[in-house]
Every structure is written in structure tokens, then in C-alpha cells.
Amino acid sequence: MRGSITRVSRKDGSGCILAEDGKEVSFERSGINSNGAVELRVGHWVQFELQYGFEQPCAVNVRQLQPDAGQRVVAADVPGNQPGQLQHALGLFP
């Protein structure tokens, strides 16, 4: 699956991804596949796999894709989002 990082905690390295299908999925630092070279930030385009746990699915094997690897998910693609809400969070608008 692919999506855009929407939140990252500096404290513990966990965060959330807005997947292409419009669902938000959480990830933990241990689920990042970066070999220590990449720090994920809001707006980064990533590829990931879902792992099903007790409460809800979470993203594992999360890795950053090159900027041209796909289109960013925008609020218009996600039911229930306010226009501009996600674009602002991803830094697409000032």
C-alpha cells in the first residue's frame, strides 16, 4: 500500500499514514524500514504493509518513496475531510 505521512511523534517515532484508500493507519518506530538513514516527516510519500493486531491494523515495513513515486493523497480524495485541511497539513498550501 501507499500513502502520505500525516503525523509523526518526535517523542517516540510513531505516527499516522493516510493511505490511498482514505483510511488512516498508525505505525510505530519499530515498523519503519529505513536502515537508520531516513527520518519520516509529515508529507513524505511512503509504501507500507498492513499487520493485523488485537485492536486495529498498523503499518509495518514503512519506507519512504521518491517524490515522483506516486501522487499525494489530497483532502478531496477522502470523504469527510474539510477542503484544504489535509493539503495544509502536508505543506501543499502555506
The answer as to whether 94 is a domain residue is: no
Count of domains observed in the chain: 1
Read off the CATH number of the domain in which 67 is found: 2.40.50.140
Label each residue of 54-81 as H, E or C: CCCEEEEEEEECCHHHCCCCCHHHCCCC
pLDDT in tens, 3-54: 999 999 989 989 999 999 999 999 999 898 876 556 888 999 999 999 997 7
The pTM score is 0.67
C-alpha span between 20 and 91 (Å, rounded): 18
